[in-house]
Amino acid sequence: MTVKDLELTGRHTSVAVPQLMVQGVLTWLRSRLVSGAVCVCVGACLLLHYCSVCQNKSWQKLKTMVHFSPFVVSFKKRYPWVQLAGHAGNFQAGEFGRLLKRYCECEQQCLQKLMKDTLRPYVPGYYGVVQRDEQDYNLMDDLLADFDSPSIMDCKMGSRTYLEEELTKARERPRLRKDMYDKMVAVDPGAPTEEERAQQGVLKPRYMQWRETLSSTATLGFRIEGIKKADGTCNTNFKKTKQREQVMQALKDFVDGNTQILKLYLERLEELRSVLDQSVFFRTHEVVGSSLLFVHDSSGKARVWMIDFGKTVPLPPDQTLDHRTPWVEGNREDGYLWGLDNLIDILSSMLPQTP
């Protein structure tokens, strides 16, 4: 594209012509990965130039054109996202269907590897590190951008949500934690031992292992962290959802009895399981604290992605995991596929059985 291509001439050009020309220029700029801010400035300058050439056009018309330009509308749009579990402050809305997540080196390294792995279609697209307000963020796809008022579920996968090294570090510096004792008592007043009650505190390893026994993490290898429905209702009260029947009821509520959505989820999970069996990344990493994000909307779209890799760490070069073997401290097994097998089995049992 040359400077001549950008010239706007003629006093009696219709409003549609400059708007189309501006959109063409912006499309060309975006195709060359020019930043959104630069594109907005270029678009405004072109429209201002047109206004100065066509002096009989009112400022109001120009203002309307700028306000309703499809590009400017998309630039202003903040794609919806929800973090059902964790710290919402870790996220910021990005542009063009992307999301900023507070920088974590471990997650960055995982996402870089995953972009070259067979799991690439099942994780958010990753675009490197960006800075905003002097804070580094990992830039990735906003997985909700193509959905309209979606329903969302976060399932934490695996038989534990803490790394083995976390247990080791906590034991090296044992310290009674009153905050963890208070959390334990709030959930189950009878959980502390007599000694812990007298001390009004618990050790971190004890708390971490006790916490996993409360939910289906211990019984099924996954747990529901939170559900947000299309109507805006949000439920994160699944700490004691432990039995298969309880999980099944929560899943039924999530899909509102829609068997087509259920089938799409089941197909996606079966595809994911097959790819996980082939993935070099998966075989060579301890996948802890990672979630499956379920998203569907009223149009009938339904997808599942793997998210959250802040605790996913590489194994020693001579070790691999099958992700189904029960965890014993030292073997680093995480139970991810055990949980996925159970999740698939539950969803399958929820579908009408054909003769």
| pLDDT digit string, tens, across residues 234-281 | 999 898 899 999 999 999 999 999 999 999 999 999 999 999 999 999
In a domain, 27, yes or no: no
In a domain, 327, yes or no: no
pLDDT of residue 9: 38
In a domain, 212, yes or no: yes
In a domain, 26, yes or no: no
Spell out the long-range contacts of 239-244 with Cβ–Cβ below 8 A and sequence spacing 24 or more.
Answer: 239/187, 239/214, 239/215, 240/187, 240/214, 240/215, 241/215, 241/216, 242/214, 242/215, 242/216, 242/218, 243/216, 243/219, 244/216, 244/219, 244/220, 244/346
Q: Quick: pLDDT tens for 260-270.
A: 999 999 999 99
Its pTM stands at 0.75
pLDDT of residue 42: 53
Portion of the chain with pLDDT greater than 90, in percent:
60
Indicate the pLDDT class of residue 17, thresholds 50, 70 and 90.
very low
Low-confidence winner among 85-89, 275-279, 305-309, 331-335 (lowest mean pLDDT): 85-89
- Number of domains comprising the chain: 1
Tokens encoding 178: 């009153």
In a domain, 192, yes or no: yes
In a domain, 261, yes or no: no
Give the domain range for residue 188.
Answer: 164-217
For residues 172-177, give the mean pLDDT: 90
In a domain, 243, yes or no: no
Residue whose pair of structure tokens reads 């390893």 in the numeric block: 205
In a domain, 335, yes or no: no
Label residue 41 exposed, middle or buried (CB < 10 Å: 0-12, 13-18, 19+): exposed
Q: Quick: pLDDT tens for 45-92.
A: 554 454 444 444 443 433 333 333 333 333 333 333 444 555 556 888
